[in-house]
Amino acid sequence: MDWAGFAPVVVGCAGKQLTAEERVLFGVRKPLGLILFARNIETPEQVRALIADFRGVVENDLAPVLIDQEGGRVARLKPPHWPTFPPGAVFGRLLQQDRARGIEAAYLNSRWIGAELAALGIDVDCAPVADLPVAGAHDVIGDRAYGDTPAAVVAIGQAVMRGLRDAGVLPVIKHIPGHGRSHTDSHLELPVVDTDIRTMEQSDFLPFRAMNNAPWAMTAHIVYGAIDADRPATLSPVVIDRIIRGHIGFNGVLISDDLTMKALKGTPAETGVASLQAGCDLVLHCSGDLAEMQGLLAALPAMTDKAAGRLADARSLLPAIPASFGPAERERYAGLMTPAAA
């Protein structure tokens, strides 16, 4: 697959089917991938048809299709067609009760999620959350976190990555290099963290460092004052080169968080170009706004050879035969989860 022939962006679409205008735009500009939200989802058959249509329009059967399916309050697939999965904090609590059970439950939970996604043609899940929350931080992470110690976040996060990969889905660690200290929601405004680097190296960065073999990672729209006081991580070559690629040692596919979040100032075209110049491999545009996508796709440079290589390397991590999730696995999972439900 020649990934370099596609625009370095994952886009959203407006509804449950591609519009005529989207089909024209995507067919000409060839965005690399698609991300799905609740507005795009009705039934399994409809989701499979939408994904197949997108891949046909961009002429790429391997076009990555992303979703945020963490469980808890961040879940795009919901009943009656899909199971309800618990938030990450449940596995952290189970880990405290019994380490082995917590890890196995998290693994089976993510493998089940992965099996549901793979059955639809979705091959990238924006999970696990590797953020380490601190007391007094904004609840935007909250119960999405696996614990309040690096060891807990790493133990559950690694299990989640294994489960998704075994099911044939690539995990995305987020929000690198750490969203746990934010006192504001980056969906609404730009958070600023003034903690010194040494403290973050000994806490916030540790889970990402331990999971730096993840195939994909998503940036945080946060200013880390001790590293780059002028730019959020997504737009900062200093944060990306010195911390994400350097100290953390992440060498996989680096995608921006959503360019339409209010933490970023400027048009998606402006922030998209700036993100790529800072060192992101891909950018993410979620709203499905046609005019914004037209401007963004017209402005973006070609995908770099390095980004294309990272995409190929990530794809190679998927198993030839993904693991299924049948009655035996569901029974084992239910037994493991009983203490957490009490």
The whole-number pLDDT of residue 24 equals: 98
- Give the model confidence (pLDDT) of 88-128 as tens digits: 999 999 999 999 999 999 999 999 999 999 999 999 999 99
Residue type, 144: R
- Give the model confidence (pLDDT) of 221-272 as tens digits: 999 999 999 999 999 999 999 999 999 999 999 999 999 988 799 999 999 9
Burial zone of 294 (CB within 10 Å; 0-12 exposed, 13-18 middle, 19+ buried) = middle
The whole-number pLDDT of residue 230 equals: 94
CB 146 within 8 Å of CB 71:
no
CB 11 within 8 Å of CB 23:
no
Q: Is there a catalytic annotation at residue 258?
A: no
The whole-number pLDDT of residue 186 equals: 67
Model confidence at 191, pLDDT cuts 50, 70, 90, reads confident
The whole-number pLDDT of residue 185 equals: 66
Active-site choice (257, 258, 281, 285): 257
CB 145 within 8 Å of CB 92:
yes
State percent of the chain over pLDDT 70: 97
Burial zone of 207 (CB within 10 Å; 0-12 exposed, 13-18 middle, 19+ buried) = buried
The whole-number pLDDT of residue 341 equals: 45
Output b/e per residue, 272-281; b: 16+ Cβ within 10 A: bbbbbebbbb
Active-site choice (61, 98, 183, 187): 187
> 255 is written with which tokens?
């995608």
Residue located via tokens 């746990």 = 180
Pick from 246, 242, 216: which is nearest to 231 by CA? Answer: 242
β-strand pairing of 216-219 with 253-258 = parallel
CB 213 within 8 Å of CB 182:
no
The whole-chain average pLDDT of the chain stands at 94
- Give the model confidence (pLDDT) of 34-72 as tens digits: 999 999 999 999 999 999 999 999 999 999 999 999 999
Cα(142)–Cα(165) distance, integer angstroms: 25
- Give the model confidence (pLDDT) of 20-38 as tens digits: 999 999 999 999 999 999 9
Q: Is there a catalytic annotation at residue 98?
A: no
Question: What domains can you pick out in the chain, each with its CATH number?
Answer: 6-31+85-341 (3.20.20.300)
Residue type, 122: I
Model confidence at 342, pLDDT cuts 50, 70, 90, reads very low
State percent of the chain over pLDDT 90: 89
Note if the pTM is more than 0.85. yes
The CA-to-CA distance between both ends of the chain, in Å, stands at 48
